[in-house]
Structure 1
Amino acid sequence: MAIDSAIRRADTGSRAGGDGFANLAQAADWYDRWLRTQALPLWWDAGADRQRGGFFEGLSIEGQPRPAPRRARVQGRQAFVYATAGVLGWDGPWREAAWHGMDFFLDRFARPDGLFRTLVGLDGAVLDDTAMLYDQAFALLGTATLHQADPRGGELAQVARGVRQGLEAMRHPAGGYRENIAHPFQANAHMHLLEGAMAWAELGGGEWEVMVDEIVEMALSVFIDPEGGFLREFFDAEWRLADGEDGRLVEPGHQFEWAWLMDRHAKRRGDSRAAKAALGLYAAGRRGVDPARGVAVNELWDDFSPRDPTARLWPQTEHLKATLLFDGEIASLAAAQVLRRYLETPTPGAWRDKLRADGTFVEEPAPATSFYHILGACLELFKATGR
């Protein structure tokens, strides 16, 4: 079977032992081997649905597919992963894998207005035709990355323009965009839209720079608390802080994600306000790192007391990305070591998603959506070590 061959190819000697990384170069070596010889082969061999198209939502911890209705974001993220693998020079079938996800996405999720629906069934039938900002963001990121790696006839640029034009219908009169969920006025969807728009802007699209500037301004003037310098999550229709517990939510992982994006923008555009905001966001995120376990927890209250001590995988990836930018080698090595713990599984290339407060992992499938986050951490680690 293909999955067995992928596991046999893995360099078991690179699996983490009890000792920590000696330096960032050693950490980068480990993550590079894990990515190229374990994760990328596994999620193509076992994570791609050869019968129905696209990528599965997840794999069991033993590396077996877990069929479920398909979300648009999974296809966009996996196309991003394999297109990025091509940019990194992976010698596997990155082009076939990336277009496997992208072709399925374009065929099954496209709506007539240029936007993409959120959910289809295993049989390809539309289960939810809603256009969510979150999904459009990964349509932009996936198309930009694949266009960079393998532009073919340039059709993905036209797809992205269709998304941008379709998003005009989702603009909110008071600024920004309205998400089609129970919390329509939120920072998170804008964060991912910023990442997608920035990916296209970096390919030379001036019209995308306008979108980037608008979202950055929303972050600086609305999403980031003016006194505390940390990111708020939910708002009302006038972009005032939401009432009750929703308004008090602070997510350390999002502090790190926004810090990384604001720093990226600051360096691209020489924006001193964004640079200052990035430092404040990183400091806020660090307040959500549990000293006992070394993990970034899921949620805090706005006084920085614990709200949800569970630690999902994705905040650890964003912690590592931000720490490599804003902190020293000791902190970065600690973050890299913590993330490695989530990746030490019976099937090399799979991962665990939730660490409980007592230090044990929840036994559940590995979500495909996490690969995007893990790869982002790997990219920042490779950049920091000159790869």
Structure 2
Amino acid sequence: MKDIKDYIEIYKKGLLENIIPFWIKNCVDGEDGGFTFCLDRDGTVIDTDKGVWQTGRFTWMLGTLYNEVEQNPEWLRLAKHGVDFLDKYCYDTDGEMFFIVNKKGEPVRKRRYVYSESFAAIAYAAYYKATGDEVYADKARKAFDTYFLYNNTPDLIAPKFTEHRQTRGMGTPMIGIVTAQELRKNLKDESYTVYIDNWIAEIKKYFINDEFKAVMETVGLEGEFLDHFDGRMLNPGHAIEGAWFVLQEAKYRDNDPELIKMGTKMLDWMWEIGWDKEYGGILYFRDVKGLPVQEYWQDMKFWWPQNETIIATLMAYELTGDEKYMKMHEQIHDWTFKHFPDEKYGEWYGYLHRDGRISTTLKGNIWKGPFHIPRMYLMAWQSLELIQKNSL
């Protein structure tokens, strides 16, 4: 077992000397604005399209580093580079945001859901905290309001299924929780707690399934189990990410015991389902009945479920002191850091086969960018420092 100070050094040094410098060096577009995230192993840009999700996420990351680590003027300058690109190019005339734009900012794709808005909201909120410019507080609130409106108003978003199989997914309340947490923190606005309460209640009511001991991903409108591929499919990494959102709320509320119980139950169940007992690491999809999963990448190891599990296990240990969570952290840390980091060029591979072999050398694309990995490094570092402080 590593000493706490050794883990702190790994996460702190990795964030500040590896992950963030890799992206700043390779993804900043000084010609047309914004960031190009589609990178080969060595950081070479291999596609100039720009993901709006990733633009908001990296902008949030830069603002958060400025707010919580060091008031580095380069981080603030690049955060401004990000919000400027969001403002100039990423909104459609109807107020919704695009999903992908090209190098010059011209729209390429728009999706039926509104997650671009959630990531823009946290970007604006972090930039507001860094600068005190009320314009960005207003932009954060407006983006959040759009996210809430479209996800809570029937018929504004076309349903995924027909009336013969209406569903609700865990993604909306889950992302809503962490978005509201960021706005509450950076805008210093307690009114967002009401949204958090409601979304936590929604997850508890509809998605935590005591019969299967699983956190469901897709259910019927009243939480009913759908015995089909979509209804049976579990996403352990997603649910574990949701678990630490709940635990984070517990910490905010002076270690609320009910929220700790809920969050650790989600983590325990989905670790049992998602941890690959043969090869290690968190699997991508599982079937709640143990049946075959139809998605062909179901047994791959993606970067982000490992990131979220590192955060969740440390937060669970921080809140409970239960040694099993530190042992779980050691397991996921050791497997992840053995297989994902690229020692030659820096940053991480994103996609591995089940046994840990590299599937592709991509460092970034429309989905993978500087968000899950640097957020994990930062939050693990912060959590471990609190654990260390509390042990003195």
Deviations 1:176-223 (A, max 9, x none): x97668477311233112111111122422332222122111111112
Structure 2 CA distance for partners of 1:306 and 1:80, relative to 1, 3 Å: farther
Deviations 1:17-48 (A, max 9, x none): xxxx7223212212222211222122112111
User: Could you say which residue in structure 2 is the equivalent of 1:276?
Assistant: 261
User: Could you say which residue in structure 1 is the equivalent of 2:114?
Assistant: 133
**Secondary structure at the residue paired with 1:66?**
strand
Q: How does 1:1-387 map to 2 (within 5 A)?
A: 22-86=2-66, 87-89=68-70, 91=72, 93-130=74-111, 132-151=113-132, 153-167=133-147, 169-172=149-152, 182=160, 185-203=168-186, 204-237=188-221, 240-269=224-253, 271-287=256-272, 288-303=274-289, 307=293, 308-327=298-317, 328=323, 329-340=326-337, 341-348=339-346, 350-367=347-364, 369-386=368-385
* Identity score, percent: 20
CA positional deviation for 1:352: 0.5
Structure 1: where are the runs of 5+ without partners? Answer: 1-20
Structure 2 CA distance for aligned equivalents of residues 79 and 278 of structure 1: 28
**Runs of 4+ in structure 1 displaced over 6 angstroms?**
none
**Secondary structure at the residue paired with 1:346?**
coil
Structure 2 CA distance for partners of 1:283 and 1:306, relative to 1, 3 Å: farther
Q: Do the aligned partners of 1:61 and 1:346 also contact (CA within 8 Å) in 2?
A: no
Structure 2 CA distance for aligned equivalents of residues 157 and 72 of structure 1: 19
**Secondary structure at the residue paired with 2:371?**
helix
CA positional deviation for 1:305: 6.6
User: Could you say which residue in structure 1 is the equivalent of 2:164?
Assistant: none
Q: Do the aligned partners of 1:259 and 1:282 also contact (CA within 8 Å) in 2?
A: yes
CA positional deviation for 1:58: 2.4
User: Could you say which residue in structure 2 is the equivalent of 1:6?
Assistant: none
CA positional deviation for 1:318: 0.7
Structure 2 CA distance for aligned equivalents of residues 163 and 266 of structure 1: 26
Q: Do the aligned partners of 2:38 and 2:363 also contact (CA within 8 Å) in 1?
A: yes
Q: Do the aligned partners of 2:123 and 2:140 also contact (CA within 8 Å) in 1?
A: no
Structure 2 CA distance for partners of 1:241 and 1:138, relative to 1, 3 Å: farther
**Secondary structure at the residue paired with 2:279?**
coil
Structure 2 CA distance for partners of 1:179 and 1:362, relative to 1, 3 Å: farther
Per the normalisation by structure 1, the TM-score is 0.85
Structure 2 CA distance for aligned equivalents of residues 209 and 320 of structure 1: 26
**Secondary structure at the residue paired with 1:127?**
strand
Bigger drift between 75-84 and 106-115 goes to 106-115
Q: Do the aligned partners of 2:213 and 2:269 also contact (CA within 8 Å) in 1?
A: yes
Q: Do the aligned partners of 2:36 and 2:45 also contact (CA within 8 Å) in 1?
A: yes
Structure 2 CA distance for partners of 1:130 and 1:360, relative to 1, 3 Å: closer
Q: Given residue 287 of structure 2, which amino acid in structure 1 is its aligned partner? A: W
Q: Do the aligned partners of 1:185 and 1:237 also contact (CA within 8 Å) in 2?
A: yes
Structure 2: where are the runs of 5+ without partners? Answer: 162-166, 318-322, 387-392
Between the two proteins, the alignment pairs up a number of residues equal to: 363
CA positional deviation for 1:243: 4.6
Structure 2 CA distance for aligned equivalents of residues 372 and 246 of structure 1: 27
Structure 2 CA distance for aligned equivalents of residues 264 and 193 of structure 1: 14
* CA RMSD across the alignment: 2.6
Q: Given residue 359 of structure 1, which amino acid in structure 2 is its aligned partner? A: G
Q: Do the aligned partners of 1:224 and 1:230 also contact (CA within 8 Å) in 2?
A: yes
Structure 2 CA distance for partners of 1:205 and 1:123, relative to 1, 3 Å: same
Structure 2 CA distance for aligned equivalents of residues 365 and 181 of structure 1: 33
Q: Do the aligned partners of 1:144 and 1:196 also contact (CA within 8 Å) in 2?
A: no
Q: Given residue 351 of structure 1, which amino acid in structure 2 is its aligned partner? A: W
**Secondary structure at the residue paired with 2:359?**
coil
CA positional deviation for 1:168: 5.1
CA positional deviation for 1:72: 1.3
**Secondary structure at the residue paired with 2:44?**
coil
**Secondary structure at the residue paired with 1:49?**
coil
Q: Do the aligned partners of 1:314 and 1:374 also contact (CA within 8 Å) in 2?
A: yes
Q: Do the aligned partners of 1:78 and 1:372 also contact (CA within 8 Å) in 2?
A: yes
Structure 2 CA distance for partners of 1:108 and 1:145, relative to 1, 3 Å: same
Structure 2 CA distance for aligned equivalents of residues 243 and 331 of structure 1: 31
User: Could you say which residue in structure 2 is the equivalent of 1:16?
Assistant: none
CA positional deviation for 1:134: 1.9
Structure 2 CA distance for partners of 1:356 and 1:31, relative to 1, 3 Å: same
Structure 2 CA distance for aligned equivalents of residues 188 and 68 of structure 1: 28
Bigger drift between 308-317 and 138-147 goes to 138-147
Q: Given residue 54 of structure 2, which amino acid in structure 1 is its aligned partner? A: V
**Secondary structure at the residue paired with 1:202?**
helix
Per the normalisation by structure 2, the TM-score is 0.84
Structure 1 CA distance for aligned equivalents of residues 175 and 46 of structure 2: 26
